[in-house]
Amino acid sequence: MENSDVSDPMLLNASDPAPSPTDPHAALFLVLGYLRLPDLLAFQSVCRLFREAIASDRLLWMRITVEPPLSGRLTDDALLQLTSRAGGTLKSLALLDCWKITDAGLLQVVDRNPTITELYIPGCTYLTADGVVSIVQRLSERKGKLKRLRLRGLCNISRDHLDRLNYYLGINDHPQCSKPSVYNHWMSLPLNDNDDRPIDMDICPKCNNAGLVFDCTRENCRLVTLV
């Protein structure tokens, strides 16, 4: 009998254990990073292998978006537990209409994740202007690099609040006035990737109050530079 060629890759793998027919295909793990939060949470209950893979992969939890219908059920404790999966490396947190989240709850998350660069809190009606300023201040004091802040729906924000937010974000003289953006739809505001302004609020040129400032879609109006 002739000796077998040990360089044959088929023979090299012959002693490897065959994959179980019940194990998920390896390609399925590639899609985990593209799943929305509800789908990712659902995947955890499929099998032990998925549960362990999802729990141990911090990259899956570096960008968290909570939107309806999960928003209405999210509490401070649940948010802290959810964001803890990033292991302190959370980069982006979007809480859309999470009306149960409080200033204290969000501050705990920020304390444990000073690496946050994007914070979206539209429709979080329990949050206050003073609380949000404190949260952004905390990120600044911890050498954070918050680059994008979205506040749609935040009540009672004053010019003083906005000035302090601009200060902690490193914005001087409201430069977003010189970089107009057109918002075509109210619901597209929170996660508008085409808007590179650090904050979605500004001083209204007509009433001189802090708020959302919508740019006119007429080309001749958009060419006018506000003084």
Tell me the CATH class for 60-222: alpha beta
pLDDT band at 6 (very low <50, low <70, confident <90, very high): very low
Q: What is the mean pLDDT of residues 179-185?
A: 44
Distance CA 202, CA 213 (A): 6
What global pTM score does this model have? 0.76
Domain map of the chain by residue range? 60-222
Query: pLDDT digit string (tens) for 44-86?
Result: 888 888 888 888 889 899 999 999 999 999 999 999 999 999 9
- A 10 A CB-CB count for 19 gives 10
> How much is the pLDDT for 221?
59
Please list, in sequence order, all residues whose beta carbon lies within 8 angstroms of the beta carbon of residue 29, skipping any fewer than 6 positions away: 53
126 and 102 Cβ atoms separated by less than 8 Å:
yes
